[in-house]
Structure formats: structure tokens, C-alpha cells
Chain A
Amino acid sequence: MDELGPIDLSPLDPERDPERWDLLMEATRLRVAAVLSERAREPDSVRVLSGWARSILAAAAAVLLLLGGAAAALGGHAPGNPSDARRLALLTESSVIHGRAPTGAELMAAVEAGAPR
């Protein structure tokens, strides 16, 4: 036998026991079907959100940093009050419904809308 030739590992071939293998396939299929059914029941917005959750967190961190500067530029309007939060939440919700992340300009417009005139 060639030193470099393959080792016969066929006794470990899972399909040598077809009954057990079919059982494994079938059990996995059933569990996957349950997962996909659950997925079908999930609202699209939840999936969209989970898809860009990381981007949102990163954007939120950036927005928090920007808000401080924006507040100073707008004459001392304090960021983070309840009406700012509501406007940002509404903007985010609307973006989720339309399946896209809010732009920086939209976020700034939402902040400016609450600034003292």
C-alpha cells in the first residue's frame, strides 16, 4: 500500500447506516421547517431592523456625538429631551418601514426641528 494513499474511513461513513442517516436528515428538516415557519410569521420590519442593528448602533453613537455640537451651533438647545427622542424614533420607524437607514441629513433635520427659533 502506498504510504501516501488514502485511509479507508468508510466504516465511519454516516450513510452506512441509512436508517440512522435518514432519521438525522428528517429530524433536521423538521426543525428547519419550524424555523422557516417562524420566520414567515415574523414582521418584515423586525428582520430589517435585525439586519442593520449594528449599523443603527454605530449611527446612534455618531449621532449622540454630533448632537452635542449641533446643540451648541443652534444656540444652546439641549439635545436628548423627550421631543427630540420622539422625532428620532419616528424617523427611525419610518426608515424601517421603507427598508433603509436614515440619512445624516434626515437625522440633523429631525434635531433642528426642535431647536429654538
Chain B
Amino acid sequence: MEETDADLVARVRLGDRRAADLLLRRYLRSCRAVALAVTGSEADADDACQDAFVAAMERIDSCRDPARFGAWLLRIVQNRARNLIRREKVRRSEPLEENAAAGASSAAAAELDELRERLSAALATLPEIQRKVVLLYDLEGWKHDEIARLLNLPQGTVRSHLHHARRRLRQILGERSVD
């Protein structure tokens, strides 16, 4: 039987690395989806979710409801991601030369990069809450009720955000590119 979050948190508090690893495997993808929704950048999302997970392990004693570790962790991710983009805004007074060394990628990789860029640009037009909902639902496979619990929203509101996010993304991307 799969160990509950509460069991794993209790073990992490005793210093169990394997329990921490299980939590990492369980939540890193969701962490990244939330971080991506906030930052809009995959590289920033990687940094934010890694920092947040490490911070969560450092502060594991302050997780008041270990059964809801996931929601607690994702709030840390959200805060870290927001702090990161605030710092990035200050730092990025000059344009970055992104992926300058990636010129030799194959045609398939280039196509994938282009798709990623288009999706990221389309997602960037959505409000943050809609980005979170659509990434968690359509990319991470979460259910409405799980997202509702995480975001502290009624399920109906989650459905509405998902509907509006999908409609907007389709308008921007066009049906051809998302089929």
C-alpha cells in the first residue's frame, strides 16, 4: 500500500532520506507545473521548484498538517516562484542571449522548441490562476477536486477557470497546432 504523505513527513522528520525521495518523486512535477504557471519560464520553474522543495525539507517541522503536505509544499513553490520573478525583473535590465549555444539542434528539436515557445507565449496571456489550473489538469492529470483543495477554491470555479483557459489557448494557438 502506498504510504501517505503524513507517514512520509513523519519519517522525514526523523531524517529518513528515502521518505524525502518519495515525496520528491510524488510532487516534483506538480511543483514544476505551479512554478511554470507563475514564472512562465521553464528554467526559472526548475530553479523555483528545486529551491522550494529544499526549503520545505528544511522547514518540515513547521508543516502543521502533514496529511496536506502537498498543498503546503505548493504554497512554498508559489512564493519562491514569485520572489524569483521579482528578482529577475530587477536583474533583467538587459536582454539575455538565451540558448545561444543551442544552435546545432536537430530539426525535430527545433520544432519542439518552437511548440514550447508558442505554448509558453499563449499561457503567458492567461491569468496566473488559469495557468495553474490548466497546467495541473491538462499536463499533470490532477482532478478538479484536487486542484480545488490545493488552490482553496470551489470545484465549480476550478471548472470555470479550466474552461476559460482552454478556450483562450485555442483562440491563440489555433486548432491546427494543438490537435
Type the 1/0 row for A1-37, where 1 means its CB is closer than 8 Å to any CB of B.
Answer: 1011111111111111000100011011101110110
Q: Is the beta-carbon distance between A35 and B54 smaller than 8 angstroms?
A: yes
Q: Is the beta-carbon distance between B17 and A32 smaller than 8 angstroms?
A: yes
Q: Is the beta-carbon distance between B134 and A9 smaller than 8 angstroms?
A: yes
Which one, B21, B25, B54, B138, contacts A7 given CB within 8 A? B138
Q: Is the beta-carbon distance between A6 and B15 smaller than 8 angstroms?
A: no
Question: Which DSSP category, helix, strand, loop or mixed, fits chain A's interface?
Answer: helix
Is B148 close to A, CB under 8 A? no
Is A98 close to B, CB under 8 A? no
Is A51 close to B, CB under 8 A? yes
Question: A28 with B166: in contact, given A13-B139, A35-B58 (CB under 8 Å)?
Answer: no
- Most A CB contacts (10 A, CB to CB) among B21, B28, B135, B139 go to B139
Which one, A11, A12, A28, A31, contacts B28 given CB within 8 A? A28
Which one, B29, B54, B163, B179, contacts A32 given CB within 8 A? B54
Question: B residues 126-179 with Cβ under 8 Å of A?
Answer: 134-135, 137-139, 163, 165-167, 169-170, 173, 175, 178-179
Q: Is the beta-carbon distance between A24 and B138 smaller than 8 angstroms?
A: no
Binding site for A on B (CB under 8 A): 12, 15-17, 20-21, 24-25, 28-29, 32, 36, 42, 46, 49-50, 53-54, 57-58, 61, 112, 115-116, 119-120, 134-135, 137-139, 163, 165-167, 169-170, 173, 175, 178-179
Q: Can you list 14 A-B contacts (CB < 8 A)?
A: A6-B166, A7-B134, A10-B139, A11-B112, A11-B116, A12-B135, A14-B46, A16-B112, A25-B25, A28-B24, A32-B20, A32-B54, A35-B58, A36-B15
